[in-house]
Amino acid sequence: MFTLSEESPADSDEVELLYDLCFAPGRRALSSYRLREGVAPIAPLSLVARDEFGAVGGAIRYWPVRIGEGGAPALLLGPVAVHPTRQGEGLGALLLHETLARARDAGWSRVVLVGDEPYYRRFGFGRDAARALSFPPPTNPDRLLARALEPGAFDGVEGEVRPWSEA
């Protein structure tokens, strides 16, 4: 049993330790981190999952970004992590389903991420919606995935995913 709550400043250290545990030490050098610099994650979509003992079992964050010259608003999903001792229990799926529903309810229509398509396909992400998009290097273009939260959300949207601050 897990309890989901918005990540608070008090959760930050534990969540960062979880991300350090789950991802390579150089994770902050990835291009996705450059898109996050100077921008706060979207609080209602950045959740922490705690077990019955209060231990962090998983966490997910979303960041606002823009796409292309037109500056189409979108969400950048990630990172999402599940503690190695809790993997295989459906916690990642719970975090993704819950936050994608919240994002749609909050009026967001597009989500992009850099990740493994075989895993994220079951949540509606794929290369098709991302074909007209690019991501700052160095990013393997085959790992750029997207999902429309409403029909046609990516119609006519093309170009590089860029920081939110670049209006």
Q: Is 167's pLDDT higher than 60?
A: no
Q: Is 48's pLDDT higher than 80?
A: yes
pTM for the model stands at: 0.93
115-162 pLDDT, tens digit each: 999 999 999 999 999 999 999 888 889 999 999 999 999 999 999 999
Written out in words, the top-level CATH class of the domain with range 3-161 is alpha beta
Domain boundaries, the chain: 3-161
Average pLDDT (75-89) is 95
Whole-number pLDDT of residue 32: 75
164, 66 in Cβ contact below 8 A?
yes
Q: Is 58's pLDDT higher than 80?
A: yes
Q: What is the C-alpha end-to-end distance of the chain, expressed in Å?
A: 41
